[in-house]
Amino acid sequence: MNAYYLTKAGIECILVDRRTIGLGSTCASTSLLQYELDISLNQLIEKVGKNTAIRIYKLCENSIRKIKELTKDIHYTEYEERGSLFFSTHLSEESFMMKEYEARKKAGLDVSILSEQEMKNKYGLVAAYGILSETGATINAYSLTHKILQHCQHGGLKVFDRTKITGIDYYSGYMELKTDEGYFIKTRNIVNATGFEVISFLKKDIVDFYCTYAISSENMQEEEAIWKDRILMWSTDDPYIYMRLTEDNRIIVGGRDERFSNRITRETYLQKKSKLLQQDFMKLFPGIKFKNEFTWSGTFGKTKDSLPYIGEYPPGSNTYYALGFGGNGITFSVIGAEIIKDLILGQKNEDVKLFSFER
């Protein structure tokens, strides 16, 4: 996303990735595009204040629309607009859900409240309360990544994957990055978008690591859409889950996050989490058979306020970070790319302070 915004602005770029492009957390993404954060709007208001919280939610909502514009620009066809249902299975959460609905409504977000009976009639979902948002979408994160880079290469972007940066030297007016094969990249600015691996060289305690788990059913092409309007769904429960349908009528269910310790521990939990997610789904949709075909996990970072870290660090270093931590990384990546583009071009961006390292 950074490469797209910078290349479009006429800035010469080189993109370097230690892995094969898209084979980190990107290919593990369940690719739900929602403006909601890991924290509700009301909870965010309590943390950062009303105006700031509403601005952040609106930025995320606008990001979904901007991704739609981007997909048109690069002729990407796997973008699909869908509504998003935030639901609770607990009668005790009536006050929380009503308060959240009112906060979103006052913020100008297009939402409606759904009763237990309405959710059952429309979607076959067994839940107590629901907030339906009109703004949401799905993509294929892996194919979109490659489509963006292929498009940007026509605009001059150079891409090198399976290339590790082993050192950076700082000089007056420029920096020099050394690769593991002895090549050098000379640049005025560095944008670091390495996700959770950034912690190995950023000496700042900003994030905790978690594993999320996901399962996918067999496809059911002989059936019509399993629930009305193919909306996205996610719950307030602890542990929470999220759900979506694919184009070929697979059901994807994810969640039941755990603190990340190492790759071996993450994979040890895989089969156990797979069964639990399947059971979760069947409680919510007792009338739908779920035949599991694929199971996987991914690692992600979560900050104390559920917000990303975006901007220059340390100040005056010409080194920028786009760290879209949390469950909203794709929409955060759009916000980050716009902010960093403005900073590099010397243009004012009022939103930089919302996500800065000094907040």
Q: What is the pLDDT of residue 269?
A: 86
User: What global pTM score does this model have?
Assistant: 0.92
For 304, list phi and psi in degrees, rounded to 5: -65, -30
* Helix (H) or strand (E) segment spanning residue 337: helix 329-345
Distance CA 114, CA 130 (A): 5
pLDDT of residue 200: 73
CA separation (Å) from 235 to 101, 124, 125, 279, 288? 14, 15, 11, 15, 18
- Residue 296's closest CA among 318, 320, 277, 313? 277
User: What integer pLDDT is reported at residue 299 of this predicted model?
Assistant: 84
Torsions phi, psi for 136 (to 5 deg): -175, 170
- pLDDT score of 203: 66
Do the beta carbons of residue 274 and residue 253 sit within 8 Å?
no
Q: pLDDT (tens digit, 0 to 9) for every residue of the chain, 359 residues total?
A: 999 999 999 999 999 999 999 998 899 999 999 999 999 999 999 999 999 999 999 999 999 999 999 999 999 999 999 999 999 999 999 999 999 999 999 999 999 999 999 999 999 999 999 999 999 999 999 999 999 999 999 999 999 999 999 999 999 999 999 999 999 999 999 999 988 778 777 767 788 888 899 999 999 877 777 899 999 999 998 889 999 999 889 999 999 998 876 777 677 889 999 999 999 999 999 988 899 999 999 888 889 899 999 999 998 999 999 999 887 899 999 999 999 999 999 999 999 999 999 88
Using CB atoms within 10 Å of the CB of residue 206, give its burial: 0 to 12 exposed, 13 to 18 middle, 19+ buried.
middle
Residue 20's pLDDT is what? Answer: 96
Q: Could you tell me the two tokens for 306?
A: 């559920």
pLDDT at 339: 98
Q: Are 15 and 160 in contact (CB under 8 A)?
A: yes
